[in-house]
Chains A and B, each alone.
Chain A
């Protein structure tokens, strides 16, 4: 049993990268934690994006139960798009559970914690929060975070105009997060503290090329800085405190971006009226299926969708035929197979929210980044250098055998065993 638990989220950092950088001497503090405790790779959630993965972590449930399938979702009838928020999560979060057990929690910057949930302690929400005045529960803490220069999230548009400035923003935002957490650790009483670093994910998206270099390029400086903060964090923990460091998905370089909706259109499965705007919500009635990022496919099912046209009796046949065609999808440039696997809803989701999920989820081969746009080419050069992977997420701990954790959904169970 431990006295207090600190969880540090380092969004998107792959286990294999931790190993490579540790070996090269850039992550001494993290390496020591891994060596004294334990560590290992684990799988993410499906699809492997941060809102789904962190909700899976915090609820210990699969999306079929917690109801979060991506950054964007749809209501089928009447058809409308929405962005899932913390209020859409249909299961109890870890911090809510600890609160009910009268533990005092502090949760800073975790994805999908906006609007901030009512807890016994403090929640400062993360990157979808639009306004510093709506950052915290309790709202009295907004001023504290403002006065300490808390950055909700960096502005990724800047990367294009000014990569150096964008890098500087990342460093600044990360530095503010840790300094604020250090101050709260000292001045507040807490039993459970979760600090989330989003900047690692942003760094890997936009500067993946750097970490692929043998000397890690600008990644060396960035990750060494992260590691220094991990060292300072460890100094601030008391004997008997537990520390867990984890990421929510892996990362790899992007070879090509794949507009899955354009592919569906090319296959005659997604159709538009030439007089209408080319937007997903205006697809033509005889559409068979459409897709949301990354790789979620929804059948235009009669009785469920607003303009449903696929009959219930054809549903199975339709899905199987789409799956076969997806698995045959090749990169015309190289002849390479683009997609690794196609799952049906019931293969991977279970629970009261499963019906709201996609009918199929596609997992691409490494390097093929699945998008949902409706312009350009089906396969084109990638703009953003790094993309998520389902495997190779990272976890280490000094309090339980992290090498035994198989997927991010198991982590909550491991934490609940600690105190």
Chain B
């Protein structure tokens, strides 16, 4: 079996097990390439009809293209889409200028907390990958969060083969990461193989493309000539720069500024 099919099988397996155990689940769709791939795989896992809703946490700061893409493809794929915004914070004008901590906390974390409470979801499917970010290498396929969303990373049992931790205690919700073992390049190869739609933001325009997308003020494009999926795969086969470097900006001083801002030193 080729390795993409192997990855696909594992993801499908986790999606089905997760849904079977929790029923009250949702798939968190950021409209980025990873969660869109996850959505695609979920449709495969459940033969075209998702048994759970798809959840988009809208900060109000997303790229125009993201909103357009979301509405078009939610419709075309026939998913049950829940869009949730922390209206309170948006009304108060919370944005990245007041500090990214506060912004993310109000518009993402708090919004997610609200919607989990509202629908009483027991588990969420997320499209995170282990190679994305240093700390994510510690993530598990099934990752419990407590009522205050803290992740007790030292108190998670090892995952040996398919003996996953899969019982969430009361007040906790479980995060399930069916794409954990995928790398960035695997995602692109799979997108290419399956012709999965992704937003145009990923493709080069004027010598730049977004390698990772989220809220517009906090994303920076990276220099790239890749204007097709095949072109992206070819570039990734040669690159050593980390995927999130675009978010951390491409210039040294911009990187340092961000670093200092993260510490409240600027």
Of A162, A369, A372, the most chain B CB neighbours within 10 A belong to A162
Chain A residues within 8 Å of B108, by CB? 161
Contact yes or no, B262 A205, CB < 8 A: no
Rounded to whole Å, the gap between the CB of A166 and the closest CB of chain B is: 7
Chain B residues within 8 Å of A384, by CB? 101, 263-264
Contacts A72-B266, A83-B253; A162 near B151 (Cβ below 8 A)? yes
From residue 244 to 262 of chain B, which have CB atoms closer than 8 A to chain A?
Answer: 252-253, 255-257, 259-260, 262
Write 21 A-B pairs (CB below 8 A) sorted by A numbering: A49-B265, A71-B265, A128-B256, A130-B256, A154-B134, A155-B133, A155-B134, A155-B135, A156-B262, A157-B104, A159-B101, A160-B109, A161-B104, A164-B150, A164-B153, A165-B153, A168-B153, A169-B134, A375-B98, A384-B101, A384-B264
Contact yes or no, B266 A162, CB < 8 A: no
A359 within 8 A of B: no
Per the bound structure, the CA–CA distance linking A167 and B253 in Å amounts to 26
> Beyond the given A153-B259, A169-B135, could you list 17 further A-B residue pairs with CB under 8 A, ordered by the A residue number?
A83-B256, A83-B257, A154-B134, A156-B259, A160-B101, A160-B104, A160-B109, A164-B150, A164-B151, A164-B152, A165-B151, A165-B153, A205-B263, A205-B264, A375-B97, A383-B99, A384-B101
- Closest residue of chain B to A221 (Cβ to Cβ) is B154
Per the bound structure, the CA–CA distance linking A161 and B102 in Å amounts to 10
From residue 210 to 239 of chain B, which have CB atoms closer than 8 A to chain A?
Answer: none
A127 within 8 A of B: yes
Contacts A71-B266, A157-B101, A372-B266; A165 near B135 (Cβ below 8 A)? yes
B138 within 8 A of A: yes
Contact yes or no, A130 B153, CB < 8 A: no
Contact yes or no, B264 A383, CB < 8 A: yes
Per the bound structure, the CA–CA distance linking A221 and B260 in Å amounts to 27
Rounded to whole Å, the gap between the CB of A128 and the closest CB of chain B is: 5
Majority secondary structure of chain B interface residues (helix, strand, loop or mixed): helix
Contact yes or no, A165 B104, CB < 8 A: no
In order of increasing CB-CB distance, the 4 nearest A-B pairs are A156-B262, A164-B151, A160-B101, A165-B135
Contact yes or no, B135 A168, CB < 8 A: yes
Per the bound structure, the CA–CA distance linking A193 and B100 in Å amounts to 37
Using a CB–CB cutoff of 8 Å, the interface residues on chain B facing chain A are 97-102, 104-105, 108-109, 133-135, 138, 150-154, 252-253, 255-257, 259-260, 262-266
Per the bound structure, the CA–CA distance linking A154 and B101 in Å amounts to 15
The proximity string for A residues 2-34 relative to B, scoring 1 for CB distances below 8 Å and 0 otherwise, is 000000000000000000000000000000000
Contacts A83-B253, A165-B151, A384-B264; A158 near B259 (Cβ below 8 A)? no
The proximity string for A residues 288-304 relative to B, scoring 1 for CB distances below 8 Å and 0 otherwise, is 00000100000000000
- Closest residue of chain A to B255 (Cβ to Cβ) is A130
From residue 347 to 388 of chain A, which have CB atoms closer than 8 A to chain B?
Answer: 369, 371-373, 375-376, 383-384
Per the bound structure, the CA–CA distance linking A372 and B153 in Å amounts to 35
- Closest residue of chain B to A164 (Cβ to Cβ) is B151
Chain B residues within 8 Å of A240, by CB? none
Chain A residues within 8 Å of B266, by CB? 71-72, 293, 372
Contact yes or no, B135 A158, CB < 8 A: yes
Chain B residues within 8 Å of A72, by CB? 260, 265-266
Chain A residues within 8 Å of B153, by CB? 164-165, 167-168
Per the bound structure, the CA–CA distance linking A161 and B126 in Å amounts to 15
Chain B residues within 8 Å of A165, by CB? 135, 138, 151, 153
Chain B residues within 8 Å of A369, by CB? 264
Rounded to whole Å, the gap between the CB of B196 and the closest CB of chain A is: 26
Using a CB–CB cutoff of 8 Å, the interface residues on chain A facing chain B are 49, 71-72, 82-83, 127-128, 130-131, 151, 153-169, 172, 202, 205, 293, 369, 371-373, 375-376, 383-384
Chain A residues within 8 Å of B105, by CB? 160-161
- Closest residue of chain A to B146 (Cβ to Cβ) is A164
- Closest residue of chain B to A72 (Cβ to Cβ) is B266
Rounded to whole Å, the gap between the CB of A85 and the closest CB of chain B is: 9
Chain A residues within 8 Å of B257, by CB? 83
Chain A residues within 8 Å of B134, by CB? 151, 154-155, 169, 172
Contact yes or no, A383 B102, CB < 8 A: yes
Rounded to whole Å, the gap between the CB of B207 and the closest CB of chain A is: 21
Rounded to whole Å, the gap between the CB of B86 and the closest CB of chain A is: 14
Contact yes or no, B256 A155, CB < 8 A: no
Rounded to whole Å, the gap between the CB of B213 and the closest CB of chain A is: 16
Chain A residues within 8 Å of B262, by CB? 155-157
Contact yes or no, B150 A130, CB < 8 A: no
Per the bound structure, the CA–CA distance linking A354 and B48 in Å amounts to 70
Rounded to whole Å, the gap between the CB of B175 and the closest CB of chain A is: 11
Chain A residues within 8 Å of B138, by CB? 165, 168
Per the bound structure, the CA–CA distance linking A67 and B263 in Å amounts to 22
Chain B residues within 8 Å of A155, by CB? 133-135, 262
Chain B residues within 8 Å of A172, by CB? 134
Contact yes or no, B135 A162, CB < 8 A: yes
Contact of B260 among A83, A205, A383 (CB under 8 A): A83
Per the bound structure, the CA–CA distance linking A168 and B136 in Å amounts to 11
Of A158, A164, A372, the most chain B CB neighbours within 10 A belong to A164
- Closest residue of chain B to A157 (Cβ to Cβ) is B262
Chain B residues within 8 Å of A127, by CB? 259
Per the bound structure, the CA–CA distance linking A27 and B100 in Å amounts to 35
Chain B residues within 8 Å of A383, by CB? 99, 101-102, 264
Per the bound structure, the CA–CA distance linking A49 and B150 in Å amounts to 30
Per the bound structure, the CA–CA distance linking A375 and B98 in Å amounts to 6
Per the bound structure, the CA–CA distance linking A82 and B266 in Å amounts to 12
Per the bound structure, the CA–CA distance linking A308 and B265 in Å amounts to 26
Per the bound structure, the CA–CA distance linking A157 and B134 in Å amounts to 13
- Closest residue of chain A to B152 (Cβ to Cβ) is A164
Per the bound structure, the CA–CA distance linking A39 and B152 in Å amounts to 36
Per the bound structure, the CA–CA distance linking A76 and B60 in Å amounts to 38
